[in-house]
A and B are shown apart, each in its own frame.
Chain A
Amino acid sequence: MQIDVEHVARLARLGLSDEEKKLFGEQLAAILTYADNLKKLNTDGVPPTTHAIPLKNVYRADKAAPSPDLPAIMAGAPDKADRMFRVPRIIE
């Protein structure tokens, strides 16, 4: 099994070293080969289960309540300016 490791890493926005690319390529291939065992099971007409218990949308009462403490939230930011998160340049 051949996996396009660089493509998958790009989708995940995950930087990998050359060693990691080689290692993960091999390990993912082994894991996915094992996962191919599932193909032995006939699942025609079987509905998928995303949650073990049925989930339904939950509404809460439309009542005002205090917002989370903004300074406490901002305190964890790697970089900030006033009430905003600062990030490196997005466009040239």
Chain B
Amino acid sequence: MTAHELAARLAGRKLSSAELTRSFFERIKKLEERVKAFVTLDETGALAQAAEADRRLKSKEHVTPLTGIPIAVKDNMCTKGLRTTCSSKILTDYHPPYDATVVARLKAAGAVIIGKTNLDEFAMGSSTENSAFQITHNPWNLAAVPGGSSGGSAAAVAAGEAVIALGSDTGGSIRQPAAFCGVVGLKPTYGRVSRYGLVAFASSLDQIGPITRDVTDCALLLNLLAGHDPLDTTSVEAPVPDYRRVLAGGIKKLKVGLISDLMGNGIDREVKAAVKKAADLFARLGAEVIEVSLPTLEYAVATYYLIAPAEASSNLARYDGVKFGYRNKEAKDLISMYYSTRREGFGAEVKRRIMLGTYALSAGYYDAYYLKALKVRTLIKRDFDRAFDRCDALLSPAAPTVAFKTGEKTDDPLSMYLSDIATIPVNLAGLPALSLPCGFSRGLPIGLQIIGRAFDEETILRAAFTYEQNTEWHKAQANV
């Protein structure tokens, strides 16, 4: 069930948050052996939060649409006193002394945090196979990946192990797993949601956003997350609408551009067919659908894999075994302690990206790689600006294929990187975009990506809601 359906039952006292929370832990105990979505479960903490939520629901004080609703949080967001690992050995025993702003907001709203979900180590990956602890499986087909890096959050929602979840998205890490798991995932505009307490990967790209079963829940969760935070200097002081109230109203006269560059070679035939059908439905519902071309998109993956690792190599310098996290205790001097701590603490993909980023920033290569990538980023952004001169929203597949098999791409980093070809350009331009279910291929969900203008989450949510109201895809359930 969705949060908005459950909220009505909780408010009507037909169901208590304690009962609801217990039922989720029962389901988790049944399914988790197969899905492996969670790194840490917090049944004691969750039941205490549920009891507090029930008090609020009973007294009808401080009741929000998420009061008493079980939510899963990606394990790269700090939860005070609750282990936060980033699925990395280097943070295995890290217990943050503070809450991320988004977590503090969830707690203030009375949501029930049931646990922390698995991810690719430090959010670097597209399949949740790069976790130091476990591989998460796709609830639609356990032999397939759930996508990544927010694969644990997407799988938890798809499997019914959580009502809603938080993910983070640096190059597609909310939208691609949402597409692979048949749920709704939104990456808000850069600056829309505070990243305070989100473990930094690539600071000019990272955003936190909702992963939910439907668009209404997505809007409800975004209502809670969005808004300025003095603790994050990149968070923007822009008015935040009530996203739930903007869902209705339809899409008549909306100008929608189908991105032709993401409908060609390299995109699976059935994925293309489903997206084309979705675009046709937009037209039947009154939108004006045109084809648009953004020719620089073919350079987005290369641009991203210079910029994001460069920023990561700098951000991950803090894992040095001094102030927190894992340390190699045998090292006899400081420098060798750094080397051995980082050798033992980081997994292969993280090391690969630190190396790549360090190289791109190093003397002699900075201009040719990092600076060049920043300039191409400008060209990609200009392509989007031109498209939005003609359109209110853009459509594309959220991923070039449906979920691939576990192990299929682990030996070939470049082919793994290319699975984010449709989502990466959006992060480079800082725009909001969501993925929602638009079909199936071989029993696996297909995701439709809707991209909006900066700070115009309203339009893409309304477009997504209108589409959802006229299709049945979101009603399909994974049979785990």
Residues of A within 8 A of B (CB): 3, 5, 7-9, 11-17, 20, 24, 27-28, 30-32, 34-35, 37-39, 41, 43, 46-53, 55, 57-58, 60, 68-69, 72-73, 75-79, 85, 87-90
Inter-chain contacts of B94 with A (CB < 8 A): 76
Cβ-neighbour of B230 out of A16, A34, A60 (below 8 A): A60
The reply to whether the CB of B303 lies closer than 8 angstroms to some CB of chain A is yes
Q: Would you mind naming 11 contact pairs between A and B with Cβ atoms under 8 Å apart? A: A3-B359, A5-B355, A24-B351, A31-B305, A32-B359, A35-B373, A41-B296, A49-B378, A52-B430, A53-B190, A89-B332
Known: A34-B302, A35-B306, A53-B190. A68 touches B98 (CB 8 A): yes
- A87 with B334: in contact, given A43-B372, A46-B379 (CB under 8 Å)? yes
Interface size on B, residues (CB 8 A): 72
Given contacts A5-B355, A15-B340, A15-B342, contact A73 B331 (CB under 8 A): no
B323 and A76 contact, CB distance less than 8 A: yes
Look across to chain B and name the residue whose beta carbon is closest to the beta carbon of A5: B355
Closest chain A residue, CB of each to CB of B232: A58
A50–B307 Cα gap in the complex (Å)? 9
Known contacts A30-B414, A53-B454, A78-B322; A38 and B302 CB within 8 A of each other:
yes
* Binary interface encoding of chain B residues 200-236 relative to chain A, with 1 for a CB under 8 A from any of its CBs, else 0: 0000100000000000000000000000001001101
Residues of chain B within 8 A of A7, CB atoms compared: 362
Report the minimal beta-carbon distance from B321 to chain A, rounded to whole angstroms: 6
Tell yes or no: B25 within 8 A of A by CB.
no
Contacts of A60 in B (CB 8 A): 230
A52 proximity list for chain B (CB < 8 A): 190, 204, 381, 428-431, 454
* Contact pick for B337, options A31, A37, A87, CB 8 Å: A87
| Beta-carbon contact of B376 and A41 below 8 Å | yes
Chain A residue nearest in CB terms to B204: A51
CA A15 – CA B320 in complex, angstroms?
Answer: 12
Q: Given A13-B342, A38-B303, A87-B337, is A28 in contact with B371 using a C-beta cutoff of 8 Å? A: no
Give, as a whole number of angstroms, the nearest-CB distance from A29 to chain B: 10
Residues of A within 8 A of B321 (CB): 78
Q: When the two chains form their complex, are residues A51 and B234 in contact, meaning their CB atoms are under 8 A apart? A: yes
Assess the B97–A13 pair: CB atoms within 8 A: no
Going nearest first, the 5 A-B pairs with the smallest beta carbon separation are A52-B430, A15-B343, A48-B374, A72-B97, A78-B327
Question: Which chain A positions have C-beta within 8 A of B313?
Answer: 12
Interface status of B377 (Cβ within 8 A of chain A): yes
Given A38-B299, A78-B327; A14-B320 close (CB under 8 Å): no
Q: Are B302 and A37 in contact (CB under 8 A)?
A: yes
Which chain B residues border A37 with CB–CB below 8 Å? 299, 302
Q: Assess whether A16 is in contact with B343, with CB atoms less than 8 Å apart.
A: yes
Chain A residues closer than 8 Å to B320, beta-carbon distance: 13
**Complex contact A8–B324 (CB within 8 A):** no
Are B352 and A88 neighbours in the complex by a CB distance under 8 Å? no
B78 shortest CB reach to chain A, Å: 11
Beyond A13-B335, A76-B97, A85-B322: 5 further Cβ-contacts under 8 Å? A15-B339, A35-B302, A77-B323, A88-B332, A88-B336
Q: Which of B362-415 contact A (CB under 8 A)?
A: 362, 369, 371-379, 381, 413-414
In the complex, which residues 233-284 of chain B have their Cβ closer than 8 Å to any Cβ of chain A? 233-234, 236
| Chain B: minimal CB distance from A43 (Å) | 4
Give the residues in chain B near A8, CB-CB below 8 Å: 355, 358-359, 362
Q: How far apart are A36's CB and chain B's nearest CB, in angstroms?
A: 8
List residues of chain A with CB within 8 A of the CB of B61: none
Contacting pair B362 A13 (CB below 8 A) = no
1/0 per position for B114-134, CB-CB distance to A under 8 A? 000000000000000000000
Bound-state CA distance A20–B327 (Å) is: 21
Q: Is the CB of A88 within 8 A of B337?
A: yes
Q: A3–B197 Cα gap in the complex (Å)? A: 35
